[in-house]
Every structure is written in structure tokens, then in C-alpha cells.
């Protein structure tokens, strides 16, 4: 009998059909990835496997068999015996997925004791054992730590340890690495791979990232609008997709090993640049946070120049100081030492010619004001009082970013994530800037939307001669948009240069490590890289 | 300074500044109050000559800053007071003498405070048990009949004035059923058993009102915590709903409850006037209302300072409890 057998599964939330007629099977010890964009219903399926929709008001139809339990008709008690014992789940956000008030070892022990009749002491010992197994150093001592004392990667290891505690037959991982840095992601994916080899458990991986799927599974199921688009062995689906949607999805995924498409813009030619072209220049920027013993420098001695019409990519992991740097360039933060010069002149405070596009299009727009009003703010701030002209200019900007002038009076919640980011870009353009600093402008978006927003930024740059500073953690996206790249680590730039040089021939060991950690779309390449990482770790 | 000692020191300094500011405010407010204080203090039948004497004795004609200065000096160094025929010494910390009775304000406070503390702290235990218990139960049984019943009851409790509950309790328990004698305050030190029996009804009526607010707050806070990701984790690992509610959700939901409790304990010490009046408890609240009516400035200032002290204290205790409940909180 199969480990998982889902037949004609439907899940409805009120009027919304999240999953419609989905069927698949997963054999003992096999690995399957559910891949899709947000809203495709992939996480809903994962939750349905453990009966987590019970009591939430969702209507679940069809049949679900997991490790010998008929989930669709199981009682609460039967479900509890399944959850954690035979099928365990690892969630996306490891910070919020653990109880902040209890020690990590105690939380794992609690789950273990739910399913086994052992003493507290024995459960605690088991917790230390599994923590050690997932590579938490000094597990005995660290098991007494609370979640906030762990880094993101260690928290995710702890959650995986919790999943392993009862030796389940099936591990369900719902976006297990989405909240993590790329190097940590590689470690976690390698850990899952090793554990699967050793324990022979089945893996159901839910992810929006095709690369993550390629690294980790044997079979892929592509979902869209709650239905199966394509299902087959990973090499076939990713190598020669049969469906158009799969092809579009794969085409939208930025590749770290592909060069940027050539542009007609002459400024990308490094030889043609001279000092006059420099619009923004930062010298010796340093920014400290905290005081006394708690003080640390988020950005330390960073110097860079941005030329007219070019894109400078700033790439780094979380905590590398890239956002702090971006804010100092715009003037939202004052540097502790060093200065930012705009067209040769030192600036203090916010400079209207340098604008910013923020990461989260949900929280960076005021939900209680129409998007037109938000875009009009910079225009009003410059002293424009003529309502007709303001409205005309906003309409023009809305149309420029691919929205409609009639959207002026709509509110942010009426737009999709990609549309909201277009509104954010329109707002940045409203001040007629020469430079736009984009802080993770596409990291909250699906790949197809991401590709559209990146294309829009490129278009605007060509037409308006804008200089862009593109701050992001995603190495592939940065390569697709940048003329030059600066790699940041712990507040410093460790390597910078023309994008293709840095990516094709990295000099700094950290850059090498970052590039090696990017998931490859080709499963064979992924396997080779994993082997290389293992060797590197063993050496 | 860091650590617990530093926290206490900073809190103490803050409390002293707060209390001094409150005392200045009370002086200013009373100075600006219309009405002849000397006449009120002396009584309606005093002759103008007697009223003048009283005004002189109480130094009512001194400017505001001088009167406040005398108050500060008395607080720090003690003071001598002329009562007409003799001189009374009031040693530091001296809050002055009552205009009405010539008693030292500190003595008045020390006789009233145990009554108020007995009432409020006893009621607090009851309202926490009732309120938090009801809140947890309605969060656990959300959407079911139990929750609707509890919600109805707590809303009714919230909407009922304390003297209605108190009166009904007294009429039923003491009058009709004759289970208890009508309450009369007995000192804890004199007879602990009688103390408790006599305070039972006041405790209940104060607690029932307060418990309603705690039940609503606990329920809302619990529902918020129950929607968090880490609760989902434990559900997905087969932990029973009861354990999740009691062990994981309640702990996360406690912070606002602790804050509300600090606030309510602090203010109930001086603010449980209705309960005190209804059950004839000679507490701070009753005395304060009386002192305000007869413009007895030293007593009002003293009482307000005591109440302020307990509000500050309750909030400091709440901060320590936060830090105990949640290791991520650092006391500063």
C-alpha cells in the first residue's frame, strides 16, 4: 500500500475552491514536490494530509490515506495518533513555529511524550538525541535554549528534530527553507536529503521555488488554481515540460548561471564611463546601532559609485547590512561616519532625486488611503497645489507602470502583490528621481510576477535614464538586472565588479560559497553540487 | 547600573518623581478651588472672628509655593503644629494634620489602608480565578454553547453596577438565607476567621464586576495566541487541544492580563468607594471622598499619594512578572 494516496481531493473555504479534484500517490520512501505559485493550493493540500482543516470551517472532499489512516473519515483521536507519530510536518517560518516561552528540548520532549509512554527524563534524552542528529552543536546544553536564542537555520533544524522524534514514515515540509538565507537553505536541504537516505522516510515537499524542488525530490507535481498542471519525474517535468504553464513558470525563474540579456543602452559598456557620469557616490559609509557594549556597525566602511543609467546590484544574506546601506543612500538614515554625495555635492537629509522602492508592497502602502493619494504625496511634498495637475500626473504615472488611471481611487487591498509593487514604483517615480534604490523589490512576489516587475524596472531605466541600486538576497535576480554587483557580508563589501565577472569568476571565498549554495534547476547538476558541498564539509 | 538592582533603583527614583508631581498637582487644583476653606473647616456657625483665627492657624493665607514648601519640609524633616492651646509634633515623614480632626494624616492612612488592602487583594484573588478561568474556558469552547453562555454572563456582570450586585448578595445571603451576618469590618490581626467571613461578600461583589473585564480580555488574548503559528505546530504534532490551550496559549496570553491587573489593583485601592460604602468598610476610598467634600487638603494629598504609590508599585510588580513569564523581556 502506498504511503500517501490522495483521490479526488477538494478543499473549499466558503465560496473559494482552493483545491479541486486533486489525486496523487506517494510510495514508501519516495519524495514528491508540490510546486506552485501563491494561491495555487499547495499548502492547503499539505494541511489536508494531516486533517488540519478540521474545525476551521473548510469543507474537505475526496479521500486521503496517509500511512494507513483514512484521514478524511478519521476521528479526532485517530488524527492525533497520526500527527507527529506517523506523519510529521515542518513549517515555513521557524521563528513563529516554536513556542517562544519554552525551552526547545522541552517542546520536542512534549511532542514525544504525546505519542510514547515514557518518562519525562527519557523524553528529554530523546530530544537531545534528535537535536544532535540534525546537527545542533552541543545539543545537551542548547536543548535548554529558547527559540529566540537560536538563529533561523538552527530553529529550522530544531523543527526538523521535532519531526524526527517519533520516527515518522512521512515528512511533510511546507516551504521549509523560504525564510532562510541561501547558504542556510543549502544546509537544510542537504540535511533533509541525508535524513531521507538514512531513515527511508517519505518526503512531501511544498515549495514555490523550482530550484528547491529540483534539489530534493524524485517527482514533481505542478499545481495551479488548485489543480494539477503536470506530474512526473523531476528530470522530465523540469527538463522537458509538456504543459505551457510549466514552461512559463520555468522561463520566469531567474538563472544564476545565465548572463543578463544584452541591452541597447550604451552605459552598460564600462569603457564609455567617465567621472561625470557618477550621480551618487558614497565614501567610507559606516553606521552603528546601539550604544556602549551593545553597539555594532551594521555597515562598515562602504564606498561605492552609481553612474547614470546603470544598475548596481547589492547582494547579501540577512544581517549583511544591505538594507541599512540602501537607507543611507536615500537619506532615510544618517551615516555615523562617511558621506553620500549626489552629483558631487554632499547631502544631508532626504534627497528627492534619490527615491526608494520598498520590499513589502503590503505594509509600505497606507491601507486607509487610495493608491492615487499615496502616489500624489511626493508631488504635494514639492509644493504642487493644483489638484487637476496632480491628478493628471498621477494618472500618467499609473499608466506608465502598467496600471490604469482609473485606479486612482482604489485602495491597496484591491490590488495583487505585483500591482501593489507597481504602485510603489509609481510613487518613487512621482518625485522625478535620478536614482531609485530598490530594497528587495521582488522578494515577496511569485516568479512570474517577479519577472514582470523586473522587466518594468528595466524599461523605466532605459526610458528615463534612471540609475538603479538593486538590493536583494536572491543572487539570480540580481544577476538578471545588474551591470555591476557588490557582494556584502557583515557590513562590508567583500567583492565588487562587473556582474558577469563576479558571477563567472568569483574571487572571494564568501562569494564562491554563496554561488555554490544557489539551488540548480537541473537535478543532475544539483546532485553534483551536493556531493561537492559534502566533500567541502568533510575536508 | 544593570540587572535587577538597577531596575529597582530606576523604578524607585521614577516613583518619587511621579509622586512629587502628583502632590504639586493636588496643591494647585485645591488652591484654585473656589469656596472659603476656613469657613468650611470651622463650621457653619463660626463667627467671622473665629474663621479668621482658623485661617491663620492653618496658614491658609500663605501663598501656594510657601504652603507646598512647608509640606515638603514636613515630609523630610517633620514639623510642629500649633493646635490653638498646645503644640503637637509630627515627626518625619509628616504628611501634615487634618484640618478637620487635628489627627496626623499618616495615622489616618495607617488605620484606613489595611481595610482597603484587605478588600482589594482578597477580591483580586477571586477576580483572577473567575476572570481568567472564564476567559480560558470560552476561548477553548469558542463557537459552542458554553462560550455563548459565558459571554452573556460576563457582559451582564460588566454592565451591572457594583451596588446592585452587592445589595442583592446582601439581601439574599444575609437577609433571606441568613447564611452570614451583615458584614462588619474586623481586623485581620484581631480575628482572621471573622475577617474573612465578613469580607466574603465585599470580595465577591467587587470581584464579579472586575472578573467580567478579565474574562473578556483573557478570551480575546487567548484567541489571538491560538491563531499563532506555534499553536499550529503543536496541533500538527497531535498534542491535545486542552494541553495546547492551557500550556501554550494561556502563557502567551498572560501579558495583557498582567497589565490590566496591575492597573486595576492600583486604582481599586483608592477607588472601591461604592463597595466600601455599601458594606460599611472604613477604607481609603470612603475617607478620600469625605476629605474632598470638606476640602481637607492634607488628608487629600496624603490619600492621593498613597494611591499613587500603589499604582506605581503594582506596575513595577507587573514588569517583573512580564520578565518572569517571558524570558525575552529585559528589565530596564
3-state secondary structure chain B: CCHHHHHHHHHHHHHHHHHHHHHHHHHHHHHHCCCCHHHHHHCCCCCHHHHHHHHHHCCCCCCHHHHHHHHHHHHHHCEEEECCCCEEEECCCCCCECCCCCCEHHHHHHHHHHHHHHHHHHHHHHHHHHHHHHHHHHHHCCCCHHHHHHHHHHHHHHHCCHHHHHHHHHHHHHHHCCCCCCCCCCCCCCCHHHHHHHHHHHHHHHHHHHHHHHHHHHHHHHHHHHCCHHHHHHHHCCCCHHHHHHHHHHHHHHHHHHHHHHHHHHHHHHHCHHHHHHCCCCCHHHHHHHHHHCCCHHHHHHHHHHHHHHHHHHHHHHHHHHHHHCCCCCCC
Which chain B residues are closer than 8 Å to A111 by Cβ?
A: 234, 237-239
Mean predicted confidence (pLDDT) in A399-428: 90
Span of A42-51, A291-300, B113-122 with lowest mean pLDDT: A291-300
Interface residue B45 vs chain A (CB under 8 A) = no
Q: Summarize pLDDT for B60-99 with one digit per residue, the tens.
A: 777 888 888 888 888 888 777 766 667 777 777 788 888 8
Whether A267 has a pLDDT exceeding 80, the answer reads no
Q: Summarize pLDDT for A221-262 with one digit per residue, the tens.
A: 999 999 999 999 999 999 899 999 999 899 888 888 888 776
**The predicted structure's pLDDT at residue B165:** 87
Interface residue A508 vs chain B (CB under 8 A) = no
Candidate from B238, B325, B327 with C-beta closest to A114: B238
Which chain A residues are closer than 8 Å to B235 by Cβ?
A: 52, 83
Interface residue B61 vs chain A (CB under 8 A) = no
- Which residues does A260 contact at the CB level (< 8 Å), separation at least 6? A479, A480, A481, A482, A499, A500
d(CA A265, CA A460): 12
Q: What percent of chain A has pLDDT over 70?
A: 97
How close does chain B come to A83, measured CA to CA in Å? 5
Q: Summarize pLDDT for A189-204 with one digit per residue, the tens.
A: 999 999 998 999 999 9
Mean predicted confidence (pLDDT) in A365-369: 90
Candidate from B237, B240, B326 with C-beta closest to A101: B326
Report the chain B residue with the minimal C-alpha distance to residue A159: B233
- Which residues does A304 contact at the CB level (< 8 Å), separation at least 6? A281, A282, A312, A486, A493, A496
**The predicted structure's pLDDT at residue A271:** 46
**The predicted structure's pLDDT at residue A276:** 62
Q: Select the more confidently predicted residue: A460 or B62.
A: A460
Per the CB < 8 Å rule, is A100 touching B230?
yes
Residue whose entry in the numeric block shows the C-alpha cell 507646598:
B68
Residues 250-279 of B with CB under 8 A from A: 251-252
Candidate from A81, A93, A114 with C-beta closest to B229: A93
**Nearest-CA neighbor of B270 among B255, B291, B256?**
B291
**The predicted structure's pLDDT at residue A426:** 94
**The predicted structure's pLDDT at residue A511:** 92
Interface residue B82 vs chain A (CB under 8 A) = no
Per the CB < 8 Å rule, is A100 touching B328?
yes
Residue whose entry in the numeric block shows the C-alpha cell 538514512:
A198
Q: Summarize pLDDT for B109-156 with one digit per residue, the tens.
A: 999 999 999 999 999 999 999 999 999 999 888 888 888 888 888 888
**The predicted structure's pLDDT at residue A88:** 94
Per the CB < 8 Å rule, is B238 touching A99?
no
Report the chain A residue with the minimal C-alpha distance to residue B251: A101
CB A300 within 8 A of CB A491: yes
Residue to substitute from B142, B236, B252, interface A, most A β-carbons within 10 A: B236
Per the CB < 8 Å rule, is B230 touching A88?
no
Whether A164 has a pLDDT exceeding 60, the answer reads yes
Say if strands A345-346 and A354-357 run parallel, antiparallel, or are unpaired. Answer: unpaired
Mean predicted confidence (pLDDT) in B210-231: 91
Candidate from A52, A99, A115 with C-beta closest to B236: A52
**What integer best gives the mean pLDDT of chain A?**
89
Measured between alpha carbons, how far is residue A278 from residues A205, A358, A432, A434 in Å?
Answer: 47, 24, 18, 11
**The predicted structure's pLDDT at residue A264:** 52
Residue to substitute from B230, B232, B248, interface A, most A β-carbons within 10 A: B230
Mean predicted confidence (pLDDT) in A9-29: 91
The phi, psi pair for B279, rounded to 5°, reads -100, 10
Mean predicted confidence (pLDDT) in B201-212: 90
Candidate from A93, A114, A146 with C-beta closest to B237: A114
Which chain B residues are closer than 8 Å to A146 by Cβ?
A: 327-328
CB A328 within 8 A of CB A491: no
Q: Select the more confidently predicted residue: B308 or A268.
A: B308
How close does chain B come to A41, measured CA to CA in Å? 18
**The predicted structure's pLDDT at residue A275:** 56
Span between the terminal Cα atoms of chain B, in Å: 10
d(CA B287, CA A240): 88
Per the CB < 8 Å rule, is B237 touching A148?
no
CB A333 within 8 A of CB A287: yes
Per the CB < 8 Å rule, is A111 touching B240?
no
Q: What percent of chain A has pLDDT over 90?
A: 55
Candidate from A52, A82, A159 with C-beta closest to B235: A52
Q: What count of CB pairs under 8 Å joins A to B?
A: 74
Interface residue A74 vs chain B (CB under 8 A) = no
Q: Which of A427-441, B183-197, B257-271 has the highest mean pLDDT?
A: A427-441
Interface residue A83 vs chain B (CB under 8 A) = yes
Mean predicted confidence (pLDDT) in B256-285: 87
**The predicted structure's pLDDT at residue B2:** 58
Per the CB < 8 Å rule, is B232 touching A97?
yes
| HEC-encoded secondary structure of A269-309 | CHHHCCHHHEEEEEEEEEEEECCHHHCEEEEEEEEEEEECC
Per the CB < 8 Å rule, is B327 touching A146?
yes
Per the CB < 8 Å rule, is B235 touching A83?
yes
Omega before A463 cis (within 30°)?
A: no
Q: Summarize pLDDT for A303-346 with one digit per residue, the tens.
A: 999 999 999 999 998 888 999 999 999 999 999 999 999 988 88
Interface residue B323 vs chain A (CB under 8 A) = no
Amino acid at each position: 500500500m502506498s504511503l500517501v494516496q490522495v483521490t479526488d481531493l477538494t478543499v473549499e473555504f466558503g465560496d473559494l475552491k482552493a483545491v479541486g479534484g486533486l489525486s496523487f500517490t506517494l510510495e514508501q520512501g519516495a519524495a514528491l514536490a508540490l510546486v506552485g505559485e501563491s494561491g495555487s493550493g499547495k499548502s492547503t493540500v499539505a494541511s489536508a494530509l494531516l486533517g488540519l482543516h478540521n474545525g476551521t470551517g473548510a469543507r474537505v472532499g475526496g479521500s486521503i490515506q496517509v500511512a494507513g489512516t483514512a484521514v478524511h473519515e478519521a476521528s479526532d483521536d485517530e488524527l492525533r495518533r497520526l500527527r507527529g507519530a506517523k506523519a510529521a510536518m515542518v513549517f515555513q517560518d521557524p521563528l513563529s513555529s516554536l513556542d517562544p516561552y519554552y525551552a526547545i528540548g522541552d517542546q520536542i520532549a512534549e511532542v514525544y511524550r504525546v505519542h510514547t509512554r515514557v518518562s519525562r527524563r527519557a523524553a528529554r534524552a530523546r530530544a537531545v538525541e534528535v537535536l544532535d542528529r540534525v546537527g545542533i552543536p552541543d545539543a545537551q546544553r542548547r536543548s535548554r535554549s529558547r527559540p529566540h536564542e537560536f538563529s533561523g537555520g538552527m530553529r529550522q533544524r530544531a523543527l526538523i528534530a521535532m519531526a524526527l522524534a517519533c520516527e515518522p514514515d512521512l515528512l511533510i515540509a511546507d516551504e521549509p527553507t523560504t525564510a532562510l538565507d541561501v547558504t542556510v537553505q543549502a544546509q537544510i536541504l542537504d540535511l533533509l536529503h541525508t535524513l531521507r537516505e538514512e531513515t527511508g522516510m517519505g518526503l512531501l515537499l511544498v515549495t514555490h521555488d523550482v530550484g528547491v524542488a529540483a534539489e530534493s525530490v524524485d517527482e514533481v507535481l505542478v499545481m495551479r488554481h488548485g489543480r494539477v498542471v503536470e506530474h512526473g519525474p523531476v528530470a522530465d517535468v523540469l527538463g522537458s515540460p509538456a504543459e505551457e504553464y510549466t514552461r512559463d513558470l520555468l522561463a520566469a525563474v531567474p538563472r544564476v548561471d545565465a548572463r543578463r540579456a544584452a541591452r541597447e543602452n550604451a552605459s552598460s559598456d564600462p569603457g564609455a564611463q567617465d567621472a561625470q557620469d557618477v550621480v551618487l557616490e558614497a565614501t567610507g559609509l559606516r553606521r552603528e546601532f546601539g550604544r556602549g557594549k551593545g553597539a555594532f556597525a551594521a555597515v562598515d566602511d562602504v564606498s561605492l559609485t552609481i553612474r547614470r543609467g546603470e544598475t548596481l546590484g547589492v547582494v547579501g544574506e540577512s544581517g549583511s547590512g544591505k538594507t541599512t546601506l540602501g537607507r543611507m543612500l536615500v537619506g532615510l538614515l544618517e551615516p555615523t561616519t562617511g558621506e553620500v554625495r549626489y552629483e558631487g555635492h554632499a547631502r544631508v537629509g532626504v534627497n528627492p532625486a534619490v527615491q526608494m522602492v520598498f520590499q513589502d508592497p503590503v505594509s509600505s502602502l497606507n491601507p486607509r488611503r487610495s493608491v492615487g493619494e499615496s502616489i500624489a504625496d511626493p508631488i504635494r511634498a514639492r509644493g504642487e497645489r493644483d489638484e487637476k495637475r496632480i491628478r493628471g500626473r498621477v494618472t500618467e504615472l499609473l499608466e506608465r507602470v502598467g496600471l490604469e488611471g482609473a485606479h486612482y481611487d482604489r485602495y491597496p487591498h484591491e490590488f495583487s502583490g505585483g500591482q501593489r509593487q507597481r504602485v510603489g514604483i509609481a510613487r518613487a517615480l512621482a518625485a522625478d528621481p535620478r536614482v531609485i534604490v530598490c530594497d528587495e523589490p521582488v522578494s515577496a512576489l511569485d516568479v512570474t510576477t517577479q519577472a514582470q516587475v523586473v522587466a518594468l524596472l528595466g524599461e523605466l531605466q532605459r526610458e528615463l535614464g534612471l540609475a538603479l541600486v538593486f538590493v536583494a538576497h536572491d543572487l539570480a535576480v540580481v544577476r538578471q538586472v545588474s551591470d555591476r554587483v557588490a557582494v556584502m557580508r557583515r557590513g562590508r563589501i567583500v567583492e565588487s565588479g562587473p556582474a558577469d565577472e563576479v558571477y563567472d569568476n568569483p574571487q572571494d571565498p564568501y562569494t564562491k560559497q554563496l554561488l555554490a549554495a544557489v539551488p540548480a534547476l537541473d537535478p543532475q547538476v544539483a546532485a553534483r553540487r551536493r556531493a561537492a558541498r559534502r566533500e567541502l564539509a568533510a575536508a | 547600573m544593570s540587572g535587577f538592582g538597577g531596575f529597582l533603583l530606576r523604578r524607585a527614583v521614577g516613583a518619587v518623581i511621579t509622586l512629587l508631581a502628583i502632590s504639586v498637582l493636588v496643591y494647585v487644583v485645591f488652591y484654585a478651588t473656589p469656596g472659603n476653606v476656613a469657613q468650611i473647616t470651622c463650621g457653619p456657625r463660626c463667627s467671622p472672628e473665629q474663621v479668621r483665627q482658623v485661617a491663620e492657624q492653618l496658614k491658609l493665607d500663605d501663598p501656594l509655593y510657601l504652603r507646598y514648601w512647608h509640606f515638603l519640609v514636613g515630609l523630610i524633616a517633620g514639623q510642629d503644629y500649633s493646635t490653638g492651646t498646645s503644640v503637637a509634633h509630627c515627626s518625619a515623614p509628616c504628611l501634615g494634620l487634618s484640618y478637620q480632626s487635628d489627627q496626623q494624616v499618616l495615622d489616618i492612612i495607617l488605620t484606613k489602608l489595611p481595610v482597603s488592602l484587605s478588600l482589594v487583594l482578597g477580591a483580586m484573588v477571586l477576580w483572577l480565578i473567575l476572570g481568567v478561568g472564564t476567559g480560558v474556558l470560552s476561548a477553548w469552547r469558542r463557537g459552542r454553547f458554553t462560550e455563548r453562555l459565558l459571554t452573556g454572563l460576563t457582559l451582564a456582570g460588566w454592565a451591572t453596577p457594583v451596588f446592585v450586585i452587592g445589595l442583592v448578595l446582601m439581601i439574599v445571603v444575609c437577609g433571606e438565607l441568613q447564611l452570614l451576618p451583615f458584614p462588619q469590618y474586623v481586623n485581620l490581626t484581631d480575628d482572621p476567621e471573622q475577617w474573612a467571613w465578613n469580607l466574603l461578600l465585599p470580595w465577591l461583589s467587587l470581584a464579579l464586576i472586575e472578573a467580567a473585564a478579565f474574562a473578556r480580555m483573557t478570551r480575546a488574548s487567548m484567541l489571538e495566541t491560538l491563531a499563532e503559528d506555534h499553536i499550529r505546530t503543536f496541533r500538527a504534532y497531535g498534542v491535545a487541544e486542552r494541553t495546547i490551550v492551557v500550556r501554550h496559549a494561556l502563557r502567551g496570553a498572560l501579558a495583557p492580563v498582567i497589565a490590566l491587573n496591575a492597573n486595576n489593583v492600583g486604582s481599586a485601592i483608592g477607588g472601591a468607594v461604592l463597595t466600601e460604602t455599601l458594606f460599611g468598610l472604613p477604607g481609603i476610598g470612603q475617607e478620600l471622598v469625605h476629605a474632598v467634600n470638606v476640602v481637607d487638603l492634607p488628608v487629600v494629598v496624603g490619600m492621593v499619594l498613597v494611591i499613587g504609590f500603589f499604582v506605581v508599585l503594582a506596575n513595577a510588580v507587573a514588569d517583573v512578572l512580564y520578565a518572569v513569564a517571558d524570558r525575552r523581556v529585559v528589565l530596564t
